[in-house]
A and B are shown apart, each in its own frame.
Chain A
Amino acid sequence: MPLTRRTALLAGAATLAAPQLATAQPGPKRGGIVTVHINAEQRILNPALRASTGVYLITSKIMEALVDLDAAGKPDPMLAVSWASTPDGLTHTFALRPGVKWHDGKPFTAADVQYTAMELWKKELNYATTLQQYLVAVDTPDDHTAVFRYSRPMPQDLLLRALADLGYIAPKHVFAGTDVLQNPANTAPIGTGPFRFVRYERGQYVIADRNPDYWKPGLPYLDRIVWRFINDRAAAAAALESGQIQISPLSSLSLADMDRLQKDPRFEVSTRGNEANAVENTVEYNCRNKYLADVRVRQAIAHALDIPFFCENFLYGFGKPATGPIPSTSKAFFPATSKPPYPFDVARANALLDEAGFKRGAGGQRFGLRLLPTVAGEDVPLFATFIQQSLDAVGIKVEIIQLDAAGFLSRTYKDWDFDLATGWHQYRGDPAVSTTVWYRSGSPRGAPWTNQFGWQSDQADKLMDDAASETDPAKRRALYADVVRVVDEGLPVYMAIERQFITASSKALVNANNNPRWASSHWADLSLA
């Protein structure tokens, strides 16, 4: 392969970005096929319409966003080369990369950015509809400049961090004028990325081939990526071990298998590459329930859970106690001195419950609650069982109501027909994206994973609103620290456990897991040793 200076630089950068690979790499090998495990079929393969890690796992190799994240977690220029913002946060100008072509040969221009932002992000893309609600227009003074104009201040750090996930660009010439949801490009994506879509065989696999005209010269290294749908975890682990697949990202294997494969020298099983994908296990309280309306009861329930024990014995150590809604991996916002607000303390739990006036009755029981677990991962049912067992020890009888995903969403967030619920809170880089909605009052009924708990704090609302439009990063950080303090005390939701996704990958891969959102990233530099 022609060793231009650019290629050498890239190869060098690639090696630098993966410090764990201590052995001398002779330089990434060209060619080969990598097969990836994915455990649920995705309805729509368009990250400009659907924001979820499952969609990114496939489409981020085919379509690109304005920025990605580099190994240090800073914005990595992709379709946007540089950016500048006015101090008032109302105007953000992006210089776009020249010479980029869509997979169908048409040139990538600012018109694509304008169309995607105004028609897709603002109107259809979940979480972006809220993020971009004050976006007024995207001006395109020339083919390679896009100017985002807002009616309320948009902090630059929030925008850049969010755009890694919510900034994918779709081709205007394919989508404009069509019924966006029905467009066939939603299942046959056309992008600018290192791999071109080839085929989507329903229920079986998706294939993408090397894009020879990719704008990063010399990349990608692989010839082809195949994503295989395997929804049985045991079968997926078997496939990894037999070499049928090389990567199983996003904690798609069972905890026991991940623990076992960690000790297998052929595989790397770790949270490396998932630092930006933090998840917290929640205990959600329906504050309308006559027992849970008292904050002391809610706090007592939190005190009754031995989180370190749970992480050690049930999660095989893949998790730790959370200190609040902002996980410790968020360097920009994690309140550095915070500790878990409700350490395990059965005596305190009992005392609080007695204080709230709910004494033990016959048989040692105080009252009963219904717990609805969501449908996600293996840890949720384990945590639900653990909650049931732990609360039994303080005299609360918990009945677990098992529903499927649609049933859970509908009963919890629409009908408010629950007492306790447990699920996931996914932190997406910045508290304003999908975290503050858990606490902000005024969320319409039926919106999932938002404040449907019947809890309101004017103080918290004001803090969150101020923080969302505060352009000074230091001030924003302080505001969010205050938010955490207030919500940890009011406790409509107890963010109990902090985890990151785990990727199990073959050590034969080079440049794997080399940025904080690797599974959702472009993989242009991925190769087989």
Chain B
Amino acid sequence: MPLLLLALRRLALRLPTLGLILVGLFLLLQLAPGDTVDAMLAQMGGGDPALADRLRSFYGLDATVPVQLGRYLWRLVRLDLGQSAIYGKPVLDVILERLPATLLLTLSSLGLAVAGGMALGVLAARRADGWPDTAISLLGLLFYATPSFWLGLMGIVVFAVKLAWLPAGGLQEVGTGLAGWAAVLDIAWHLVLPTATLSLIFMAIYLRVMRASMLEVLGLDFVRAARAKGVTEGRVLVRHVLRNALLPVVTLVGLQGATLLGGSVVVESVFSLPGLGRLAYESVVQRDLNMLLGIVFASTLLVILVNLAVDLVYARLDPRIAR
């Protein structure tokens, strides 16, 4: 219960920001050349202007901009995200359909990035300035500097085509009717390459931060005190150093939630994953305002939730932090 209240309070605080984003994007997109009907005509391969006019009035695009904005905000206040012009379905339905793929991708990538970054950062810090440290840091820099889409494509060529170990794209095998655990494993199998691709750049960042933070904490008094007390190295590491060293990493995760979602656009495109990132790209190209704003709304909610989770983890890690 208090958690829910905290979440709602956070959301309330973010409302002006959210409003700013939505109205700003709405107005910005009015300036774009062509509207959703033009995109539809392009896909249809042609059409006469009478049809175009009829479609425009069907989608409410013949009203003036302030009227359209007013209609949108009025619907939003009643928590109605509107109809998608692309799909002819409520935006909420489409988002819920595509949300699982994106959540799976981003959460696994985040998990892998944090776990990998932590492990490698600790390893590097333990043997600071030795060759494992150098090797790991160099690796981290390489991960950071590699364009994710390029890595994704190379991954497909090597692992899907040449070696045929992993699938080339999609979320699951289609039409074969897998169920239960088989289906879960199938999805996991399809997510291996995309997760690896998306997580690498973040892993590089967390690696660096973890290493630096570990080094800083390792030099602090209380660690020396613990060692002097005779606590084993392992316990020193886990119980004392790690908890404190994790703090900056956790902060970063909170700050980068939005970047992770942005990165999923390209990865979902390369691997044909039916997620929100690609849907957002489609909405921009097809000028589906309701859909785009709906996705932004959803992603903002996600970022708030991530920040909330981050704060909770932070509080657990550092008991000195008062709520």
**Interface assignment of B58: CB less than 8 Å from any CB of chain A:** yes
**Interface assignment of A229: CB less than 8 Å from any CB of chain B:** yes
Closest chain B residue to A374, Cβ basis: B42
Q: Bound state CA distance, A238 and B272, in angstroms?
A: 12
Q: Bound state CA distance, A234 and B175, in angstroms?
A: 22
Q: Bound state CA distance, A239 and B272, in angstroms?
A: 11
Interface centre among A52, A129, A238 (most CB of B within 10 A): A238
Q: Bound state CA distance, A46 and B72, in angstroms?
A: 29
**Interface assignment of A344: CB less than 8 Å from any CB of chain B:** no
Do A447 and B58 form a contact, CB below 8 Å, given A203-B278, A242-B161? no
Q: Bound state CA distance, A93 and B43, in angstroms?
A: 33
Q: A51 touches which one: B32, B45, B98, B270 (CB < 8 A)?
A: B45
Q: B174 touches which one: A41, A228, A415 (CB < 8 A)?
A: A228
User: Is there contact, CB below 8 Å, between A234 and B156?
Assistant: yes
Q: Bound state CA distance, A144 and B172, in angstroms?
A: 45
**Interface assignment of A130: CB less than 8 Å from any CB of chain B:** yes
Interface centre among B44, B98, B176, B271 (most CB of A within 10 A): B44
User: Is there contact, CB below 8 Å, between A232 and B169?
Assistant: yes
Q: What A residues does B285 contact at CB under 8 A?
A: 404-406
Please give the distance in Å from A496's CB to the nearest CB on chain B: 19
Q: A226 touches which one: B47, B164, B175, B272 (CB < 8 A)?
A: B175
Q: B46 touches which one: A35, A42, A403, A434 (CB < 8 A)?
A: A434
**Interface assignment of A176: CB less than 8 Å from any CB of chain B:** no
Please give the distance in Å from A449's CB to the nearest CB on chain B: 5
User: Is there contact, CB below 8 Å, between A129 and B51?
Assistant: yes
**Interface assignment of B293: CB less than 8 Å from any CB of chain A:** no
**Interface assignment of B311: CB less than 8 Å from any CB of chain A:** no
Q: B49 touches which one: A182, A205, A207, A445 (CB < 8 A)?
A: A445
User: Is there contact, CB below 8 Å, between B44 and A52?
Assistant: yes
**Interface assignment of A5: CB less than 8 Å from any CB of chain B:** no
Q: Which residues A397-412 have CB closer than 8 A to chain B? A: 403-411
**Interface assignment of B19: CB less than 8 Å from any CB of chain A:** no
Q: What A residues does B275 contact at CB under 8 A?
A: 203
Q: What A residues does B48 contact at CB under 8 A?
A: 126, 129-130, 444, 447
User: Is there contact, CB below 8 Å, between B169 and A409?
Assistant: no
**Interface assignment of A54: CB less than 8 Å from any CB of chain B:** yes
Q: What A residues does B153 contact at CB under 8 A?
A: 234
Q: Which residues A377-429 have CB closer than 8 A to chain B? A: 403-411, 414-415, 426
Closest chain B residue to A34, Cβ basis: B175
Do A44 and B88 form a contact, CB below 8 Å, given A407-B34, A447-B47? yes
User: Is there contact, CB below 8 Å, between B51 and A40?
Assistant: no
User: Is there contact, CB below 8 Å, between B87 and A202?
Assistant: yes
User: Is there contact, CB below 8 Å, between A205 and B43?
Assistant: no
**Interface assignment of A340: CB less than 8 Å from any CB of chain B:** no
**Interface assignment of A224: CB less than 8 Å from any CB of chain B:** yes
Closest chain A residue to B52, Cβ basis: A446
User: Is there contact, CB below 8 Å, between B271 and A124?
Assistant: no
User: Is there contact, CB below 8 Å, between B88 and A239?
Assistant: no
Residue contacts A-B, CB under 8 angstroms, 6 given: A230-B169, A231-B272, A234-B153, A406-B42, A409-B38, A411-B33
Query: 8 smallest A-B Cβ distances: which pairs?
Result: A203-B274, A406-B34, A410-B34, A238-B168, A126-B47, A405-B42, A235-B169, A226-B175
